[in-house]
Amino acid sequence: MNQGKLLTFAEHDGNTTMSNKSHYQQLTRTFQRLSRFSHLSAIASWDMFTMMPPGGSTARGEALAELNVLEHQLLTDPKVAQWIAAAGQEDLNDVEQANLREMARRHHQAALLPESLVEAKSLAGSRCEHAWRSQRPANDWQGFAQNLKEVVKYSREEAKLRAEAKGCSPYDALLDIFEPDMTSAQLDVLFADVKTWLPDLLNRAVSKQSHQPLIAPVGPFPTALQRELGLETMSQLGFDFNAGRLDISAHPFCGGVPEDVRITTRYDENELLSALFGVIHETGHARYEQNLPHAWQGQPIAFARSTAIHESQSLFFEMQLGRSTAFLKRLIPAVKRHFGDQPAFEEANFIAWNQRVKPGFIRVDADEVSYPAHVILRYDIEQALINGDIEVDDIPALWDEKMQAWLGLSTVGDYRNGCMQDIHWTDGGFGYFPSYTLGAMYAAQLFSAARRALPDLHNQIAQGDLSALFDWLRQNIWQHGSRFTTAQLIAQATGEPLSSRYFRAHLESRYLS
């Protein structure tokens, strides 16, 4: 294959017409079809989580399962394997080679699973997720556990097939779906380092802040006004409303497709800023999606690099930028305009309130110091679950044990705020949770690199001018899609491999200085 000139996406528009690339052309057409089916599936899933009446659950689950099977059939057609092998001998430039690499990865992963397992897992996930919506508010662990056991059964079957082919542990086989080339051995090293310093940092931050009495915002805060504030903030963060929208769901998420990004949040009229920072978080996801290489849309190379890189963008927006002192100062006038003035909105108090460290039960509402504890807890449990070391019935006791050890909180009998709070396991998303703390590490390292490249960044944020920062992200992360491996992408953007020291330095600077 030709190693030639390293083309940029702008220089190569994704159209291949040369006759000596006929097998590659067949692949691009096939993956374009797959992308269109995925588009329909993404929007149907968004509707299921936001708009669909309860009575539509069974039919929607069956329809989504049918789409999943159809995509699986297209992806595992024997011709695809033949074309991949033949295209490897064709005269492809470096961008096309990267696209072929991602095509091969997707094909090989799909080819390991029988169609019957794809359908069964999809149906089980739809049933579990739909039931979870009512079981969680009712604190019905027993009902939820029955559905979860079925999801775990199929997830273990999938993990076993993948592990046998890859020569790794069952959990690593699922982790690789979300984080290509990442292993639990690598995670264990990263997380072991975090465990050596995070508990002390957390205790010191809580102790330091205990001497700073804070005034809590006083509600109620009408949902309609919270939504207006969220939309205004999304605009400031560059969200393209011509290619996306904001809605409500039981669990905040970013879905849809780059041309039509759907983000959601949830509102509590007694709590002002949880929904807003949920919106800021999801806007980070959305900006990444909206800025993936348009010329290659429909091809695997135009997809997000990995879930941790995706989470790095949301945490870059929410934590590195959104909870920075400069950004919070800019936010105060808008908060006062929507909700009036009150002592809690005095500048020093408002900033301290939004940078407070207070261990709690709910992961999505956690401050960034205690957040890794929530993630590592889930990582430990799901790894043991998929590897067969524990069963679903063991989860509540393990959850409580780890919450006590990390955060000093008990979840005995409180399943709603404990092991039932997340949506990820309902559809078999085992291997996703490590992405959050990996994402926080990537975000801290990226923000540090951006500060070096943009010496006036603090003042630009204080003035509300985020254009240079977003240009930096576009140039270094967004425009590349999956062209490079995660390790290559981070090394090129920051000048070095992933290191947890930037995350630690960020937390110490913000919360202990």
Average pLDDT, the chain: 94
Percent of the chain with pLDDT over 90: 92
Averaged pLDDT, 301-321: 97
pLDDT tens track for 409-423: 999 999 999 999 999
The three-state (H, E, C) secondary structure of 9-48, written as one string: CCCCCCCCCCHHHHHHHHHHHHHHHHHHHHHHHHHHHHHH
Q: At residue 2, does pLDDT exceed 80?
A: no
Instruction: Return binding residues for Zn(2+).
Output: 281, 285, 311
3-class secondary structure, 104: helix
Percent of the chain with pLDDT over 70: 96
Q: In the prediction, which pLDDT does 16 show?
A: 45
Averaged pLDDT, 91-115: 96
Question: Where on the phi/psi map is residue 410: left (φ > 0), alpha (ψ -120 to 50), or beta?
Answer: beta
CA distance from start to end of the chain = 53
Q: In the prediction, which pLDDT does 396 show?
A: 98
pLDDT tens track for 475-494: 999 999 999 999 999 999 99
User: For residue 6, what pLDDT band results from cuts at 50, 70 and 90?
Assistant: very low
Catalytic residues: 282
User: For residue 5, what pLDDT band results from cuts at 50, 70 and 90?
Assistant: very low
pLDDT tens track for 107-159: 999 999 999 999 999 999 999 999 999 999 999 999 999 999 999 999 999 99
Q: In the prediction, which pLDDT does 9 show?
A: 54
Q: Where are the alpha helices (DSSP H) in 136-239?
A: 141-166, 170-178, 184-209, 223-236
Q: In the prediction, which pLDDT does 281 show?
A: 95
Give the strands of the sheet with 244-248, arranged side by side: 244-248, 260-265, 254-257
pLDDT tens track for 220-250: 999 999 999 999 999 999 999 999 999 998 8
Q: Do residues 414 and 361 lie in contact, with contact meaning Cβ atoms separated by under 8 Å?
A: yes
pLDDT tens track for 438-475: 999 999 999 999 999 999 999 999 999 999 999 999 99
Averaged pLDDT, 72-91: 96
Q: Do residues 212 and 229 lie in contact, with contact meaning Cβ atoms separated by under 8 Å?
A: no
How many CB atoms are closer than 10 A to CB 106?
16
Q: Cα(139)–Cα(129) distance, rounded to whole angstroms?
A: 15
Instruction: Return binding residues.
Output: 281, 285, 311
* Model pTM score: 0.92
User: For residue 365, what pLDDT band results from cuts at 50, 70 and 90?
Assistant: confident
Q: At residue 7, does pLDDT exceed 80?
A: no
Scan for tokens 């959601």, then name that residue: 264
User: For residue 4, what pLDDT band results from cuts at 50, 70 and 90?
Assistant: very low
Cα angle 402-200-495, degrees, rounded to a multiple of 5: 100
Q: At residue 12, does pLDDT exceed 80?
A: no
